[in-house]
Amino acid sequence: MSFFIEFIYEDNLIFERISKLINYVKKKKDLNKLDCDDPTILDFYNKDELNYFWWPTEQEIKDFWEFYYSTPEESRYLHLIDKPWDFESVIDAITTGEYEIIGCEIGENGIGRLCFEPWSYPYGGIEPLEQLIKPFNIKIIRVYK
């Protein structure tokens, strides 16, 4: 049995778009050519969906890391709670994640699955895969890892 992220989607068009995105990312990851500078990945999202991600300016990145490193180590995670993932970090984390993306499956009653197979443990976690599909206004209901 594969590991998976199970989610509820609004309609079949949304699932189709997610599936196409996942198939594209899988293909690029399998070829070791997944890159956050690939403009094709952005084409899978509409403008509102892209706004889900943080698109920091150079100054915002500089300020973020200055604050992060000036914060005591034990409370740094509090600084991260309110920050959405930036798109580059999502793609980079998927690129380096030690797992194979299998693809998406349609379940019953508007439930979909994003399936993956870890190569090792730890494998880098599933949050980047979740962040990749959350902009589609889906609700993650179960994770099997």
- The per-residue pLDDT for 80 is 79
Q: CB atoms < 10 A from the CB of 55, how many? A: 11
- The per-residue pLDDT for 116 is 96
pTM above 0.85, yes or no: yes
- The per-residue pLDDT for 79 is 74
- The per-residue pLDDT for 139 is 96
End-to-end CA distance of the chain: 10
Each of the 145 residues of the chain gets a pLDDT tens digit; together they read 689 999 999 899 999 999 999 999 999 999 999 998 999 999 999 999 999 999 999 999 999 899 989 999 888 888 778 789 999 999 999 999 999 999 999 988 889 999 999 998 877 789 999 999 999 999 999 998 8
- Asked if residue 18 lies in contact with residue 112, where contact means CB atoms within 8 angstroms, the answer is yes
- Asked if residue 138 lies in contact with residue 5, where contact means CB atoms within 8 angstroms, the answer is no
- The per-residue pLDDT for 137 is 95
- The per-residue pLDDT for 83 is 82
Rounded to whole angstroms, the Cα distance separating 25 from 9 reads 19
- The per-residue pLDDT for 40 is 95
